[in-house]
Amino acid sequence: MKLLAALLVGLASLWASPALATDRAHAIALFEEARAAEARLELAEAARLYAASGAMDPSSPVAGRAADRLRWLELRSEGGYRPLARWMQAERDPALRRDPTALAELEAYAAELGPGRVRTELRLLCARVRLDAMGDPARAGALLADVAADADADVVQRRLALTQLAELERDRGGDLAWARAVLRFGELSPLPVRQEASRVQRRPWLRAVAWALLVLQGLVGLLAAARLRRRGELAHSFRPAHAAFSAWLGGAGALLAWAHGAPSVAPFVWLGALSLSIAVAARLWAAAPGRLGRVAAVRVALGLAAVGAAGFSALDWSDPRYLETLWL
């Protein structure tokens, strides 16, 4: 039975194959003609030939590629393919990389175009040339920002432009400039990138506040020390327990971190040193004569804030990446 079925299938294919082979050859020839037309920038003709190739033999080896090219061309068919032809010509033209006037003309042409993918592609091309060949990151950034801000552009192209713009800004102005660029077009970036940008933008403020708190605590401690010294009580204001606590906080913490295989013990060392200075300043403040020693609530509040600032600074000075684990 199986032998009979195989015989029938063989006979059918022998009968059908001459017609199929003719269609397939014709479809392949049309595909090659379409490619040649595309190379000559006769894009409307290329689209027609790609469509004809696919229709002639949908199962030919070139049918998939023909359909892909047709779809690609149709997505960029605005203006009767003229803007697309201009863009493709510019892509191939090495003189554009050396000719600022031609590049400026191309930018002006892109600015006059209506919404569509080709306008975006042209702007991305101009930005690339401005950056790589002309060394003009400011103008490249402006073009990329135009693409990212273009509500009519394809969202993938807008994201691509934003990624390039953010990296460009990072090269020019560091992480803060990168974060500013990301947050300027926040809706285009994934949530983790936006969160990271927010953290990067917030960090200088936190750093400034931490510094201010630590300096303020230190200044008050120095003021209190001066008053205690005038009364001859400075030496009795220190307690060995403060040094022991800070040594434990920094030393034992560093030992634990080392034993657990942490890449660095620096945060604990900083924390121990800072906590000692805060504890000494707070103790001097508490022992200070006059009104200074009586504002206990302010002293406690500033002391607690300074402890938080010390923790932040210990991580920040060691490696700011530690702060990311704390959402700072």
Partner 1 sequence: MSGRAAPARRPGPGERDPSPARASQTTARLGAIAAWSGLAFVVAYAVLRLAAAAFYPEPNPAIIVSQESVAYFQRLAVSGYVAGMVALALWSVPAERVSLDRSLPTAVWVAFAAIVLQAVVVP
The nearer residue to partner 1, 101 or 325, going by C-beta atoms, is: 325
Out of 52, 242, 295, 328, the residue judged to bind partner 1 by CB under 8 A: 242
Out of 252, 301, 304, 326, the residue judged to bind partner 1 by CB under 8 A: 252
Is residue 297 at the binding interface for partner 1, with CB under 8 A as the rule? no
Rounded Cα distance between 277 and 104, Å, is 60
Is residue 259 at the binding interface for partner 1, with CB under 8 A as the rule? yes
Residue indicated by tokens 């997505």: 75
Kindly report the CA angle at 51 between 49 and 55, in degrees rounded to 5?
115
Is residue 253 at the binding interface for partner 1, with CB under 8 A as the rule? yes
Rounded Cα distance between 129 and 110, Å, is 14
Length of the chain: 328
Helices (H) and strands (E) in the chain, counts: 14, 0
Q: How many residues bind partner 1 (CB under 8 A)?
A: 17
Pick the stretch among 41-49, 63-71, 140-148, 228-236 that binds partner 1 (CB under 8 A): 228-236
Is residue 248 at the binding interface for partner 1, with CB under 8 A as the rule? yes
Q: Which residues between 261 and 280 bind partner 1 (CB under 8 A)?
A: 261, 279
**Token reading at 162:** 């934003």
Is residue 239 at the binding interface for partner 1, with CB under 8 A as the rule? yes
The nearer residue to partner 1, 70 or 314, going by C-beta atoms, is: 314
The nearer residue to partner 1, 188 or 249, going by C-beta atoms, is: 249
Is residue 233 at the binding interface for partner 1, with CB under 8 A as the rule? yes
For 161, other C-beta atoms within 10 Å of its C-beta total 25
The residues near 80 (Cβ < 8 Å, ≥ 6 apart) are 44
The nearer residue to partner 1, 206 or 262, going by C-beta atoms, is: 262
**Token reading at 239:** 């307690």
Q: Are 212 and 301 in contact (CB under 8 A)?
A: no
Binding site for partner 1 (CB under 8 A): 233, 235-236, 239, 241-242, 244-245, 248-249, 252-253, 256, 259-261, 279
